[in-house]
Amino acid sequence: MELALADQLCYNRPVWIAAVIDCREEDEQISSDAVYIDRVLRGDRNAFAFILKKYKMYVLKIVNRHVPYEDAEEVAHDAFVRIYESLAKFTGPEGFRQWMAAITTRTCYDYWRRAYRSKEVTMSSFGEEHQEWLERVLSDTPESSLEEIGAEAEARDLLNWVLGKLTPEDRMVLELVYMEGLSVREVADLLGWSVANVKIRSFRSRAKLRKLLKGLVRI
């Protein structure tokens, strides 16, 4: 299965798309997906090309928020392979996008489990702008969310370095809860974990992040 994915997508930057879909259009989309899903399940492998073409950017944007740019296309491909292999388990027809999002998010999580590594950045390369970013994050000012602060260009290398020091589980929860602003229930559904597990992970990952950042301030 081959993917032709677009260029010029950047790591760790959410892409917001405003769209208004009336009930008739939504029903048509559900019906269209159901037709092609049924064809795939009946043995028509070529019918999956419609699903891939329709949702490739949707899947890639999810992957792009959690995986380095150079690996995003491969991880998106893996996600589509899993989607294809799991179609028989989809109980639809509603909720196909959410179902795909869950599989894609878990594929990103497995990426970090398989190839977990930190981006090596020399500590001497962190300048005054990084120290200012650290002070803002550690001050926990209510007007600045971690996502907003993390979007600043001068802090991106530092934030990636710190995230690389966390376990794959803590990293995914931290990104989903604190950087993307998802609810604990939404994260639990995406990762297939219990709500209690996500709550514990979110608290612990935030504490680990702060500890690592405080260590950098003293450098």
Q: pLDDT value at position 195?
A: 94
Cα-to-chain-centroid distance, residue 212: 22
Q: pLDDT value at position 39?
A: 92
| Residue in the block written with tokens 């760790």 | 12
Q: pLDDT value at position 10?
A: 37
Q: pLDDT value at position 184?
A: 93
List per-block mean pLDDT (blocks of 10 residues) for the chain, which spans 219 residues: 42 37 48 87 90 94 90 94 94 86 93 66 50 62 51 62 84 88 91 93 88 68
Q: pLDDT value at position 9?
A: 37
Q: pLDDT value at position 206?
A: 86
Q: pLDDT value at position 90?
A: 92
- Cα angle vertex 168, ends 10, 185, to 5°? 85
Domain positions in the chain are 23-114, 123-217
Q: pLDDT value at position 11?
A: 36
Q: pLDDT value at position 91?
A: 85
Q: pLDDT value at position 37?
A: 92
Q: pLDDT value at position 54?
A: 93
Residue 193 tokens read as 């974990």
Q: pLDDT value at position 52?
A: 93
Q: pLDDT value at position 73?
A: 93
The class that CATH gives domain 123-217 is mainly alpha
Q: pLDDT tens, 44-94?
A: 988 999 999 999 999 999 999 888 888 999 999 999 999 999 999 998 768
Architecture of domain 23-114: Orthogonal Bundle (1.10)
